[in-house]
Chains A and B, each alone.
Chain A
Amino acid sequence: MRVGRPMYRVTLSFLQFIFRLFSFPSQYAPCISAFRRSGKKGGVTAFTDGNDSSDPEPEFDSEDDYEIVSLRGFRTLENELKRAVAELDLKRGEVRLLDDKERRGREELAEVTQKLASVTEYLELLAEGMEKKKREFATTLGRLQEENRGLVQQLQERTAREDLLMAELAEARGVAATRGKDLEAVQARLSSTLSTVESQSMDLANVRTLLPKPDAVADTDAIKLVGRLNAEIFQTAALLAEACSSVKGRPLQDIDNQTATTRVKEMFGSKFVDLVQNVPHENNPAVLRIAFQACIVVFADWISAAWHFQADPAPQFFGEVYRNVWLDGAWPRPSVNLILRHLTYFLSDRGTGRRRSLACSNPQTRPKTRRPQSRRNPQTIHYAYLQFHGRCHPLRRHPQQTRPDV
């Protein structure tokens, strides 16, 4: 509670005195009368209020009474003033105490205010930090809540997927069990098929031995070989002709000469014999070379077309078989090996009276046989010559070629 100033307290005491003076005029009437007289006699008139007519003056018996009463009033006033001064001093002391208290209070208040300011600043800092932390916590909390929701969602998805996978696993196990049974069945069929394939492969191998092989050479190879053969025939014939033309003189004609002349005439005709016999050969090997070329050509043709070089079996047999196979539609033509293999089996079993089925013959079990090498077996050049003069294989004739009868 704030303490009032000392002047106010004095003023307040004076005002209380004035209030009591007018409230209780009987108590202060002597004093008031004294003041009025002093004022009329040139004395004090300060206490008059100008309404003397309305306020009746007290009546004194004597001058002395009046003075006595005034003295008493002055004394009372003096006492009142003393008490008021004492009270004023007391109040002044109190006022000083109060001022001290007020100063200390203010100092304390300032200190407290400063502390309060510092505390307030600290609290503000704390509040700011708290606010910041709060925001951070709110942010972190939001993020964690978001993550939590994501994790929860992932967990739910994974749980759902796990359920789905478990269902699929169960289904797959069922399918696997079914497949296992199917696999066993397939393996059984596979083993059966493998055995079938194996047997069929064996049959195929048997059949392949009977199939013609693809050509290993081209026509140009045969042409080149025939060209080289012709050149060699020419060289050989020329060599023989040179050797024969260098022989001096002619021996006496013998039976062998007549027989040879008959054979040559049968082979090449009378004009050829005339050419050989009538043209002089000494130092003129041309005719002999031509004759030798003709002989070697027939000889080489026989070798190149021979089925085999054995005396038996009859060569016509192979030729007929080959022709029949060729004309019956086997094309590409059957290889000579194939035909000869068939014929060899047939011929090898023919002596025992058994006839082997060629198509079913097994190369693993059938006996090895020698390899026939010829397609024809003209035992002599003379035979080859006769072939071309009437008993020739039909395929060896030119289709457009007309042959005179011999």
Chain B
Amino acid sequence: MADVILCAGIHNKHDQMSETIIRMAGDGIAAVVDMALKLNRMLGEEVTAADIETTWAHAQDIYDPKWMEDDYGNWKSYGARRDLKVLCTTDLGLRRLVKADNEAGWVDTVLIKPKVILEEILSSSPVEAK
């Protein structure tokens, strides 16, 4: 986040960014960390019947609506293009892996699709707040 702020040119001192971010959204980050730790404990220690893990799509991944969800929901307007790429992920996804005797060795079930922003947003209308 500090890199993003510096990259956006809002600040120019990396040493001051920690205090700045904490001042801006310390409580929110603490809440996110607390929930992530709780999720770590839940998925790592309390679930043994399956392997449940969080998912997200990285930049330049090919957009696949089977595994992802467009955060702005307008990917259908891009027509039949199959080269839509992911710009970034905005919401975490969740999937469930169960070992099986099939060819892949497991059965993969998407519980929550990660929400992504497509690169095409750069060429479309200016980004607006949700």
Contact = CB atoms under 8 A, between A and B. Distances in A.
B84 interface: no
A63 interface: no
Interface of A: 212-217, 219, 221-223, 225-230, 232-236, 239-240, 243-244, 247, 250-254, 256-257, 259-261, 263-264, 267-269, 271-277, 279, 281, 284-301, 303-306, 326-327, 329, 331-337, 373-375, 385, 388-389, 395-396, 398-404, 406
Contacts of A403: 58, 61
A215 B96 CA distance: 14
Contact of A215 (B1, B38, B46): B46
A225 B39 contact: yes
Interface in B17-65: 21, 24-25, 28-29, 31-33, 35-40, 42-56, 58-62, 64
15 contacts: A213-B48, A236-B28, A240-B25, A244-B24, A256-B13, A264-B3, A275-B87, A286-B130, A290-B117, A296-B29, A297-B90, A327-B105, A332-B48, A399-B106, A399-B108
Contact of A277 (B9, B13, B66, B89): B9
B73 interface: no
B7 interface: yes
Contact of B99 (A252, A292, A297, A326): A326
Interface of B: 1-14, 21, 24-25, 28-29, 31-33, 35-40, 42-56, 58-62, 64, 66-67, 87-97, 99, 104-106, 108, 111-112, 114-115, 117, 119, 121-122, 126-130
A224 to B, nearest CB: 10
Nearest to A220: B111
A313 B119 CA distance: 38
Contact of A281 (B1, B10, B43): B10
A interface majority secondary structure = helix
Which residue, A226, A252, A289, has most C-beta atoms of chain B within 10 A? A226
Contact of B59 (A223, A252, A268): A268
Contacts of A236: 25, 28-29, 31-32
Given A223-B112, A271-B119, A297-B90, A243 B48 contact: no
Contacts of B35: 225, 228-229, 232, 300
A236 B115 CA distance: 17
7 closest A-B pairs by CB? A236-B28, A260-B6, A294-B88, A303-B36, A260-B3, A269-B59, A336-B44
A277 B88 contact: no
Which residue, A259, A263, A300, A374, has most C-beta atoms of chain B within 10 A? A300
